Amino acid sequence: MSPRKSFKYVYIPCDPACAMEELTMEIPEGREMECLLDTLKEHFRNASGTLGTSAEQKALFRKQLEEQSGKKIDDDMMDIASRMQMVQPVALLPGGKATNWEHVNLYVDDRGISKGLRRNDRACGLALECGAPTDIVGDAFLARILDDDDRFERHDFTLDEMSSSAPWVKRAYTLQIAKKQNSGDVQEQIRAMGGMKDAANVMNLQDNLPEPGPPPGSIDDTGSQLYKWSQEGEDVVVVVPVRETTTKADVKCVVKKDRIRLEVTDAPNEGERLIVDDANELCSDVTPDECSWSIVKDRDGSKRLELTLTKGKAMRWPCFTRMNSAPETKQ
């Protein structure tokens, strides 16, 4: 861990009339990783936007919860629901060898859309400048970390770096564009490799084209897994079909460096609620600060949960978890 005692980060209010601020946070001993997220959870919990600011809005929120759960929501349950808070990281500068493992992330309210928070035009504009366009609502915070698996450090991010001409923004844009282009190049290479493998088979040269496979016993191909997964470049994407009534409040997702726990609590059968058990170690480490999930609604009204994990190391995963892994869904 870093000997740093504090670090600087930037606050981007969603209200355009409010100026951006450079803030400093003291690092409690042994809590360098958690300190920022804990502080931001408290900010998002207290600065709840329009939700809960009037009796009418509270009544609407209660009605929504009752429709989702099919149960009567009392004041105690309302209080618990109102206090549930998560922070969603949005990677602007993805860390890796090209950046010497430097990451620059936006942190936003995971419940911002359901709270009816206003669009944060400055944060959206910054994400666009970085080549990572996304719709951001509510207040946002910008911070820098260094994470290479062996060490985790919080580094300063200052207000004077909030410029489209800042070196980190240009580097982020270049990397994001290259990532999209490389995705197409990799798919082309895979198609080419398919032709090479056919030729190798004819010439009995299979040994010249080794392909790593999953460890013995790691794959569960019985079809009993409740998720599908695939990978593209630095990302691993997990997809889970969910009910049309499922909301973010029904999802519990805890991402650690070497394992995840994913639950959907409104699944009709109890045996279908635990999607990924954290008793099973991931194939390789991930970067928790850059992982995120969302519920996506398709045109036919169906919904799916998508969890995107950022690999800690650039390598192909032969399996998702080291035991009881669903087979990879090929793109």
Walk me through the domains of the chain, giving residue ranges and CATH numbers.
6-171 (no CATH), 228-310 (2.60.40.790)
- Residue 11: strand pairing partners: 21, 141
Q: Which residue did the predictor score with more confidence, 260 or 44?
A: 260
Nearest CA among 286, 260, 230 for reference residue 94: 286
Tally DSSP H helices, then E strands, for the chain. 5, 13
Answer left, alpha or beta for residue 295, where phi above 0 means left and psi between -120 and 50 means alpha. beta
**Report for 58-62, 168-172, 191-195, 321-325: range of highest mean pLDDT:** 168-172
Return mean pLDDT, the chain.
80
Q: What is the predicted pLDDT for the residue at 195?
A: 42
Express as a percent the part of the chain with pLDDT over 70: 77
Q: What is the predicted pLDDT for the residue at 34?
A: 86
What is the rounded distance in angstroms from the CA atom of residue 11 to the CA atom of residue 2? 23
Q: Which residue did the predictor score with more confidence, 117 or 86?
A: 117
User: Quick one: average pLDDT of 315-331?
Assistant: 83
User: Quick one: average pLDDT of 54-72?
Assistant: 64
Predicted TM-score (pTM) of the model is 0.51
Task: Place 167 in a pLDDT band, splitting at 50, 70 and 90.
Answer: very high
Q: Are 80 and 62 in contact (CB under 8 A)?
A: no
Q: Is the pLDDT of residue 94 over 80?
A: yes
Tokens linked to 82: 């109102």
N- to C-terminal Cα separation, the chain = 39
For 110-149, strand residue ranges (E) read 140-147
Find the helix packing angle between 55-69 and 75-83, rounded to 10°. Answer: 90
Q: What is the predicted pLDDT for the residue at 40?
A: 92
What is the rounded distance in angstroms from the CA atom of residue 230 to the CA atom of residue 217? 19
User: Quick one: average pLDDT of 203-225?
Assistant: 52
Element (H, E) at 89: strand 87-93
Backbone phi, psi, residue 276, to 5°: -130, 125
Looking only at Cα atoms, what is the longest distance across the chain? Answer: 76
Tokens linked to 55: 């009796």
Q: What is the predicted pLDDT for the residue at 186?
A: 43
